[in-house]
Structure 1
Amino acid sequence: MLTTSVVPLALDIIIKDEIIVSLASCMTQLYWFCISSYFQNFLIAAMSFDRYLAVCNPLRYSSLMNSHVFLQMIIGFWIIVFLLESSEILVICQFKFCGLDYIDHFFCDFGPILQMSTSDISGLMLQDLVISIAVIFLPFVFVIVTYIFIVVTILQISTSYGRSKGFSTCSSHLAMVCTYYGSLMLVYMAPSDPSSDSMNKYRSLLYIVVSPLMNPILYSLRNQEIKRALQKCIGSFKAVSRI
C-alpha cells in the first residue's frame, strides 16, 4: 500500500516532468501514504515481538502467538492508524491554500503540502509530533528493547549451532528494520536547509521503493529452495567464467 500510493504518480511525474494534481487528490494520497506508513511501523514492532517470543520463550510461542492473536493485533493496528491519521487530515483540510500551488516533490508529502498553506500550522505541528511519537518513536523503541533481550538470550545459548540458529531467526527482520528506520532518519532527522530539501526527495525513495523491494529478497534468503537455486546459478556462472 505504501508503494502503490506513491509510485504510480511518481512515475507519471518523472515521465512528464511535472503534472497537475487537484488538492483533493493530493490530500487522498497523503492520507493513504500516512496510514500505510504508520501501519508498517506497528507491523515491524509486532514482528519483532514475534521474534522475541520465538527466541526467548520458544516453549510458550504456539500458545501466545496464534491466529486469534494475529487477527486482534491487525484489527487494532488498523483502527489506531485510521483514527490518528483521520484526525490529522481533517485539520489539514480546514487550512487555506492561497499561496504557492507548486510542490517540488514526486508525491504529496506532509512537509511540501504545509508549505503551500497560508494558515497557522503550529497546532497541527504539535499534533503531528504527538502522533509521530506514538506511531514511529515508540514502536522503534519497542523494537530496540526486544532485540536487546533477543541478543542477550542468544548469547546465553551454550552451543554455536543454537546461537547461529537464533541469529538466523531474526536476520531478515533485523535487516528490514535497519533499512526502513535508517532511511526514515535520513529523511526526517536531517538538518533542514534549502539544499537538503532536494536531497530528501531521493532519500525518500529508500523507504518508499528500495525497502519494499528488498523485503521479498531478504525473507526469501531463508527459503531452502531459493538457496539451492542461488547456489546453482552461482555454480553455473563460475563454470561459464572458467570457459
Structure 2
Amino acid sequence: MDKRNLTVVNEFVLLGLSSSAEQQRLLTLLLLSVYLVTISGNTLIILAIGCDSHLHSPMYFFLSNLAFVDICYTSTTVPQMVVNTLTDTKTISFSGCLTQLFFFISFVNMDSLLLCVMAYDRYVAICHPLHYTSVMNLHFCVQLVAGLWVVTYLHALLHTVLMAHLSFCASNVVHHFFCDLNPLLQLSCSSVSFNVMAIYTVGALLALIPFVCILISYVLIFSTILKVTSTQGKQRAFSTCGSHLSVVVLCYGTAIAVYFCPSSPHNPERDTLSSVMYNVVAPMLNPFIYSLRNRDMKRALMKMLCKCTDFYHQ
C-alpha cells in the first residue's frame, strides 16, 4: 500500500464505558463519585500518617506512598473521561494519549512494587524483629522508594517511546476509556513485534517479580507465625500483615480477572467495565481496608478528625 495515500492519525477517539450516551453519562457520574471517594480516602490516610508521630515508621511510610500512588493512578484516567463526557467530546490528542499512557504505566508498576516492598517490610518485622530497626531505617526506605520511581519511569518511558515510533494510519477509535497498551497496539498499521516483545519481557518481569517476592515473603511469614506458641502472639502477628494481605489479594485478584481472563471481541464493553474494577474500584477500597482493619490507623484518623472538629468550632 502506498504510504502517501494513508492518513496519519493525530488524535484518538476514546469510546468510553458504553456506546449508549445515557449509559455513558450514568457510568461517568458513578465513576466520578468513586474517584472523589478515592481521593478523599487516600488523602485522609496520608494526612493521618503525617500528623501522628506514632505512625512515623517504615510500614506507614510505604502506606502513605501507596495512597499517593493510588491518587495519581486514578487521576490519569478518570478526569479525562469525565471531561470528555461533560463536553460531549471523545477525542484525545496523540501527545495527550502518550502522556496518559506514560503515567498510567508508571503508577501501575509503582503500585505493585510498593506492595512487594511492604511485604518485605512485614517479613523483616515478623521473621527478624531484632534486626528490623537496623535494616528498615529511614535512609534505606527513602532510597528504596526513590529507586522504585526510577525503575517505573524508565519502564514507562520505554513503552511510550516504542509507541511513539509506531504508525497509526487506519482507524483511530480506541475501544477503551483511556489510552492503554493493548488497545493502541491493535490500531497500529506498522509492525508491533518489538512492542509485544517488550511487554512480554520487561513488563512481565516487573509484574511477576513483585508477585513472586510477595508469595515468598508470606510463606516465610506464615511459617514463622505457626512456630509461635502464644495464641495472642499469633493474633498480633496476623493483624500486622492482615491489611496488606487483603490489599494484595484485591489488587492481584482484579488484575488477573482483567488481564488473564479471555477477552470478548463481540462484547468490548464487558472488558472495559472489568478494567474499571482494577483501575478505579481497587484504589478506592485500599484506604477502607487499611483504616478498618488497622487499629493504629483508626486511632490516628479519629485523632485527626477530632482536631479538625475542635479547630472548626473555635
TM-score of the two chains, using structure 2 as the length reference: 0.69
Matched, 1:70 2:141: yes
Give 1:185's match in structure 2, choosing from 248, 251, 256.
256
Matched, 1:7 2:81: no
Q: Deviations over 1:98-150 (max 9, x none)?
A: 01111121111111111111011011101111122221111101101101111
Q: Larger RCO: Structure 1 or Structure 2 (Cα < 8 Å, ≥ 6 residues apart)?
A: 2
Structure 1 unpaired stretches of 5+: 231-243
Q: Deviations over 1:22-66 (max 9, x none)?
A: 111111100100011111111110000001111111111111001
Query: Which amino acid letter does the alignment assign opposite residue 74 of structure 1?
Result: V
Query: Which amino acid letter does the alignment assign opposite residue 190 of structure 1?
Result: C
Matched residue, 1:226: 298
SS at match of 1:158: coil
1:13–1:106: 8 Å Cα contact kept in structure 2?
no
Q: CA deviation at 1:198?
A: 2.3
Query: Equivalent pairs: percent with the same residue?
Result: 33
Matched residue, 2:131: 60
- With over 3 angstroms needed to count, the CA separation of the structure-2 counterparts of 1:35 and 1:187, relative to structure 1, is same
Structure 2 unpaired stretches of 5+: 1-71, 303-314
Query: Which amino acid letter does the alignment assign opposite residue 66 of structure 1?
Result: N
Question: Partners in 1 of 2:198 and 2:279 — Cα distance?
Answer: 24
Question: Partners in 2 of 1:63 and 1:217 — Cα distance?
Answer: 31
Matched residue, 1:157: 228
SS at match of 2:172: coil
Q: CA deviation at 1:224?
A: 5.2
Query: Which amino acid letter does the alignment assign opposite residue 184 of structure 1?
Result: A
Question: Partners in 2 of 1:195 and 1:49 — Cα distance?
Answer: 42
Count how many residue pairs are aligned between Structure 1 and Structure 2: 230
Q: Deviations over 1:152-186 (max 9, x none)?
A: 11111101111111110111100100111111111
Question: Partners in 2 of 1:186 and 1:214 — Cα distance?
Answer: 17
Q: CA deviation at 1:193?
A: 3.2
